[in-house]
Amino acid sequence: MNNSTFQPIHEIGFSELIKKLGAYKGTPRKEILEGIGDDAVIFSSESEYSFSASTEIFMEGVHFDLTYHPLNHLGYKVVTAAVSDIYAMNTKPFQLLVSIAVPNMHSVEMVEKLYEGIDMACKDYEIQITGGDTTASHQLLAISVTAIGKGNKNQVIYRKGSTEGDLICVTGDFGAAMAGLRILMREKNEWREKGDLHFRPDLENYEYVIKRQLFPAARKDVIRLFEENNIIPSSLTDVTQGVVSAVSNLANASSLGADIFLPAIPISLETRKVADEMQEDVDKYAFYGGEDFELMFTLPESKIKELEVLFDDFAVIGKMTDKKNILKIDTGGEETIHIEI
């Protein structure tokens, strides 16, 4: 970073920093009666709506590495993580609270870059930033966001609600975020070994998977599709910790089991190439990788044809069964895997 644009936070203090960050408000919303500037946010309530809320916290060294994670992308990703949970209830976000603990060694420009990403996400998801908290940290950066959403009381969807025979559907593809992380970690290790301050990795062939890791998007389009076509899945969740975890959450919530067909799980060619390059099992990327921010939902078989006419970015990967707490994975070969969930 150019020294001429590096302003230490201690030069202006946290009060002035908070004033600067107050300029990032996302999209103004009519539901917000009082936002940034008071002790608490006040928002309106209509009787036909239910409100949803989700909080995410990202810790440096645990959830992100600033060696390869641009601050604006990080800001966008943290918002995506919280918003994805709101969409997973079939509700829509409209408000965001942001809290950060920032070391004094970071500059004002660095913090503003983080907020530029947060602001961009809020504009994309049509959310207003309404407040939060800013404090000092001795060493590491920490970011916490709370998203609040609302939806029609009669159309809120929970993890529970599926019945035996319902088909398990997923949007998008899986394992890409993990593939992107594996590439970034490999390049960081190579940079450390070479000790070259001017090291510039060639990431052109990994653009898709790296974007899925550093700059993911929540599936706002799917929730809009449900609303516009009056489609109400029997259960719904977002996939943030891999396919196995998401299937387990849906099955356990409805006191059911699940069968999934391994070859039906969508995995991109780019993700497969990374796994081959790393000599790793691509199915494990999809099963356990996480941070794909796709949606998993269940529908009666009779509703699938209707959805296929409207939408092609989904796949049926299995069905709910009466074998409570058992996940059966059909590998497409002779082997069948049973997992207690």
**Do 264 and 138 fall into the same domain?**
no
**Do 125 and 214 fall into the same domain?**
no
C-alpha 341/C-alpha 338 separation (Å) is 9
C-alpha 162/C-alpha 307 separation (Å) is 17
CATH for 137: 3.30.1330.10
* Structural domain contains residue 233: yes
- The residue written with tokens 């849906």 in the block is 250
**pLDDT mean by block of 10 residues, the chain; 341 residues:** 75 85 89 71 72 93 94 98 95 96 94 98 97 93 96 91 97 98 93 76 92 98 96 96 95 96 98 98 96 97 94 97 95 92 87
Please give the tally of structural domains in the chain.
2
> At which of 115, 131, 155 does a domain end?
155
Residue type, 164: E
Write down the pLDDT at residue 175: 98
Q: Which residues touch 49 (CB under 8 Å, ≥6 apart)?
A: 150, 151, 152, 153
**Do 102 and 176 fall into the same domain?**
no
* Structural domain contains residue 305: yes
C-alpha 145/C-alpha 155 separation (Å) is 25
Written in H, E and C, the secondary structure of 17-80 is HHHHHCCCCECCCCCEEECECECCCEECCCCCEEEEEEEEEEEECCCECCCCCCHHHHHHHHHH
Write down the pLDDT at residue 43: 66
Contact between 122 and 114 under an 8 Å Cβ cutoff? The reply is: no
Structure tokens given for 218:
């929540």
Q: Is 132 left (phi over 0), alpha (psi -120 to 50) or beta?
A: left
Strands (E), the chain: 32-34, 42-43, 49-59, 92-103, 128-137, 142-152, 167-171, 235-239, 257-261, 294-299, 314-321, 326-330, 336-340
**Do 111 and 173 fall into the same domain?**
no
> At which of 94, 122, 155 does a domain end?
155
**Do 275 and 334 fall into the same domain?**
yes
CATH for 335: 3.90.650.10
* Structural domain contains residue 162: no
Structure tokens given for 322:
């009466």
CA angle (182, 187, 189) in 5-degree steps: 95
Q: Is 321 helix (H, G, I), strand (E, B) or coil?
A: strand
Counting Cβ atoms within 10 Å, is residue 117 exposed (0-12), middle (13-18) or buried (19+)?
buried
* Structural domain contains residue 277: yes
Structure tokens given for 72:
């604006």
Q: Give the CA radius of gyration of the chain.
A: 22
Domain that residue 262 falls in: 167-340
Using CA atoms, how far residue 312 sits from 172, 260, 306, in Å, is: 10, 20, 11
Using CA atoms, how far residue 217 sits from 35, 121, 172, in Å, is: 25, 9, 11
Write down the pLDDT at residue 191: 84
* Structural domain contains residue 53: yes
Beta bridge partners of 42: 34
> At which of 155, 179, 214 does a domain end?
155
Query: Rounded to two decimals, what is the model's pTM?
Result: 0.90
Using CA atoms, how far residue 81 sits from 26, 46, 108, 218, in Å, is: 17, 26, 25, 7
Structure tokens given for 52:
């949803």
C-alpha 156/C-alpha 89 separation (Å) is 6
* Structural domain contains residue 200: yes
- Torsion angle of the four alpha carbons 310, 313, 315, 320, in this order, in degrees rounded to the nearest 10: -70
* Structural domain contains residue 160: no
Write down the pLDDT at residue 15: 79
* Structural domain contains residue 161: no
